[in-house]
Structure 1
Amino acid sequence: MLRHLLKLTWKRKTRNMLLSVEIMLAFVIVFAIAATGVRYWQLYHRPLGFQYQDVWAVQLQPPMDNRFARTEGAHDLFLRALQAMPQVEDAALTNFALFQDSSMVSRFKAPDGGRETRSNMVETNDRFWYTLGMKLAAGRWPSAQDNGADAAPAVVNRRMAEELFPDRSPLGQLIVAESSDPKNAARFRIVGTIDDFRSHGEFMAPRPVVLFRQSSVDGNKTQMTLLVKMHPGTPRSFELDLQRQLKQVRNDWSYTINPLAELRTSQLAEKLVPLKILALVAVFLLAMVGFGLFGVLWQNTTRRIPEIGLRRAMGATAAGIARQIVTEQLLLSSVAMLVGLALLMQLPLTGLLGDALNWQVFSGAAALSMGVIYLLSLLCALYPGWRASRLHPAAALHHE
């Protein structure tokens, strides 16, 4: 039966060409959206590398007319004021709030002229790791014992370590940030490693990260975000008390307070907007393809009424006729999708899209998109197949 259907499909290749191209294009578009969704799902289930529950972010905003507000020692006063509040478990400083797209990026290399890579940079203080409940993979956290060292202590994630030191331990290694003045380039000593740190949230693609400690001796000049770990169950209304406490330290500064859980929810909703738009476009596109496919199948079935009548006269059952129409359409869809898969497979083979289209994403997207196209083909073929199966042999043979 299958061999016979393959022969029929091949003999009608010219007539089916446009239909096959339409199915293949629909498959490619559905694949692109499915790949995006699978990649999002894959990223969402990766660990962030930190705990955001019950942590609030406080954006510090010094007055615009005071360029030196950041160097007046206010940061240590802020930390002491917060830690004096019974609702606060811990507090830390960093340069950017989490779950936002702000970042500091630089190119790093080993001083021996070996490998180099582009990496995110996060500036922290000694309490950063504990405030966010982070876990070490190896080594130790930077601390006051690193004051006066020849390089700033840093913690790197596993990806950074593998790209710069694939054949040795990164602990104790020196890395240098790219600079227009090599003599004054920032130097960092790796004292610890972590699995990952995705500060932009669940949909952030894994990338190298360097978290370095800014010594309190340097005045914490660029750290303008406070991360405050609250006791579980602290109500949102506590923000007013927090504002008052901070105002007692610097009344001329402004403060924007947001729980990290709220920043995360807002960012997830924002990141999903493009995917929702693409999905809506895909629904309309598939509806158009479905109507076109239904019309073509109806027309083809009408043209084949004499053939169908002859098969019925020779003993073919109504169910067999309907099954033939549906199977032919599924077979045609399979051929079109195989051609599409052969083209799309070049993307992961060449690594053109990197980790965004790894083999796991490719396999999941291929399975989903094939399922959608098969379902669409089945729905479009059911009524023409049923209509063909209802033809009486005598009426079909007299059809002009």
Structure 2
Amino acid sequence: MLRHLLKLIWKRKSRNMMLSLEILLAFLVVFAIAALGLRYWQLYQLPTGHGWKTQWSVNIRAAQELPNDPAIFDNIKRSLLEMPEVASVAFSSFGTYEMSRWTSEYAKPDGSHVLTLDGMGVSDDYFATMDMQIAQGRFFSKMDDHADAAPVVINRRLADQWFPGKDPIGQLYVEQTRSKKDGQRYRVVGVVEQFRSHGEYMDPVYFMLSRWIPGVGKAAAHSIMLKLKPGTPRTFETRLNARLKQIRNDWNYVITTQADARASMLKTQTIPLVILAVIAAFLLVMVAFGLFGVLWQNTTQRIPEIGLRRALGADAGDIYRQIIAEQCLLSTGAMLIALALLVQLPLTGVFGEALNWPVFFGAAALSAGLIYLLSLLCSLYPGWRAARLSPTQALHYE
């Protein structure tokens, strides 16, 4: 039966070529959407490495460059801790669930293994404020004052890349400068399993959390991170802003709950997926209309052939199954060609981890299932119409 169906498809190859091309393109589009959606789901399952439920952020916006004055930041911390709703206060270069990003190149002390790292400067209280857990070593603190190298906490991804099979604690690396000399030296004091500042849909990157000390260096911390006591109402924002204005009235403060920042970030990150899904849905509707029309036309042109099969003893069910089986075989051929092209992507690593093997196989299965469903739905009515023809009507059809 299969051999017979393949012969029928091959004899009408000129008619089926455009139909196969249409199915192939539809499969590629659906595959892209499915792969993106699965990658989003895969990323969402990974921990971000920081809390958000009771955390608030305050972004400082000054008319002039923010000074790194230890007296100012000490005053901010003491004043905010006096508020009964505030459990902890910390400072950072930028907040989590923001589009801000800071990257630079670093290498081992001998200049080898150069990597681009994402980084963030944070104060000693940042880890407790953000409910972070240490996986190895410790978080930096005052005991690192006057150390021979800047203490840093890195994520597991970076530790495994730079120090495979070794204890990363105590290891040194340096910042790459244009002159390749006198770069800042860093010593690893702790490792966290994960840290993704952009939230659930951020791709894992090499991340380092360096120690920021008020008054040390020119760079000031632009974000105040707060951990509030559970049950703190949203109306606390008014009192918080008033307290900050008492400290520095010439600065503006953008106060955001991390829950709101997270929701906004998730919404922003899913916009491309939603847009592509709408485009794909529109394309599939067009493909369905085209597929239905072509199948109807092909069935009409094959009425004498169908009548001959009925006259030779084939019943209505046989005709029905033949029409559907031919369309499924045609779809299978188109999808196999598409998969032969797509499999090159994970093999060559063009998209890196974004298209890993679990995502590839999952997207291929989902896409194939949708295309088969579309083919089945579009062939049901033409097949039913062909199956209703009596042998006498079909053989006398012109």
One-letter amino acid of the structure 2 residue matched with residue 171 of structure 1: I
CA positional deviation for 1:101: 1.3
The one-character-per-residue Cα deviations of 1:179-205 (angstroms, maximum 9, x if unpaired) are: 224444221110010111000011100
- Give the corresponding residue for 1:368: 366
- Give the corresponding residue for 2:236: 238
In the aligned structure 2, how far is the partner of 1:15 from the partner of 1:251?
76
Q: Percent identity?
A: 53
- Give the corresponding residue for 2:56: 56
- Give the corresponding residue for 1:264: 262
- Give the corresponding residue for 2:46: 46
After alignment, is 52-61 or 246-255 more displaced?
A: 246-255
Partner of 1:70: helix, strand, or coil? coil
Within the candidate set 294, 298, 309, 2:307 is matched to 309
CA positional deviation for 1:61: 1.8
In the aligned structure 1, how far is the partner of 2:367 from the partner of 2:5?
24
- Give the corresponding residue for 2:192: 194
Equivalent runs, 1:20-169 vs 2, <5 Å: 20-64=20-64, 67=65, 69-71=67-69, 73-169=71-167
Partner of 1:292: helix, strand, or coil? helix
CA positional deviation for 1:219: 6.8
In the aligned structure 2, how far is the partner of 1:68 from the partner of 1:330?
66
Q: What is the total number of aligned residue pairs between the two structures?
A: 398
- Give the corresponding residue for 1:16: 16
CA positional deviation for 1:15: 2.4
In the aligned structure 1, how far is the partner of 2:161 from the partner of 2:115?
7
The one-character-per-residue Cα deviations of 1:166-224 (angstroms, maximum 9, x if unpaired) are: 24221101111122244442211100101110000111000000101123451784211
2:89–2:226 CA contact under 8 A, matched in 1: yes
In the aligned structure 2, how far is the partner of 1:73 from the partner of 1:365?
55
CA positional deviation for 1:14: 2.7
Partner of 1:218: helix, strand, or coil? coil
In the aligned structure 2, how far is the partner of 1:310 from the partner of 1:8?
14
In the aligned structure 2, how far is the partner of 1:68 from the partner of 1:298?
71
The one-character-per-residue Cα deviations of 1:36-55 (angstroms, maximum 9, x if unpaired) are: 11111111111101111110
In the aligned structure 2, how far is the partner of 1:256 from the partner of 1:131?
19
After alignment, is 277-286 or 162-171 more displaced?
A: 162-171
TM-score (norm 1): 0.97
TM-score (norm 2): 0.97
CA RMSD of superposed structures (Å): 1.4
In the aligned structure 2, how far is the partner of 1:190 from the partner of 1:351?
30
CA positional deviation for 1:245: 1.4
In the aligned structure 2, how far is the partner of 1:384 from the partner of 1:239?
64
Partner of 1:211: helix, strand, or coil? strand
In the aligned structure 2, how far is the partner of 1:114 from the partner of 1:77?
43
Equivalent runs, 1:195-344 vs 2, <5 Å: 195-216=193-214, 218=216, 221-344=219-342
1:105–1:120 CA contact under 8 A, matched in 2: yes
One-letter amino acid of the structure 1 residue matched with residue 45 of structure 2: H
Partner of 1:53: helix, strand, or coil? coil
After alignment, is 173-182 or 103-112 more displaced?
A: 173-182
Partner of 1:112: helix, strand, or coil? coil
The runs of 4+ residues in structure 1 deviating greater than 4 Å are none
When residues 114 and 167 of structure 1 are mapped into structure 2, their CA distance, relative to the original with a 3 A threshold, is farther
2:67–2:220 CA contact under 8 A, matched in 1: no
CA positional deviation for 1:137: 1.1
Partner of 2:280: helix, strand, or coil? helix
1:152–1:188 CA contact under 8 A, matched in 2: yes
When residues 144 and 181 of structure 1 are mapped into structure 2, their CA distance, relative to the original with a 3 A threshold, is farther
One-letter amino acid of the structure 2 residue matched with residue 54 of structure 1: T
When residues 219 and 113 of structure 1 are mapped into structure 2, their CA distance, relative to the original with a 3 A threshold, is closer
When residues 154 and 72 of structure 1 are mapped into structure 2, their CA distance, relative to the original with a 3 A threshold, is closer
The one-character-per-residue Cα deviations of 1:272-301 (angstroms, maximum 9, x if unpaired) are: 111111111111111111111111111110
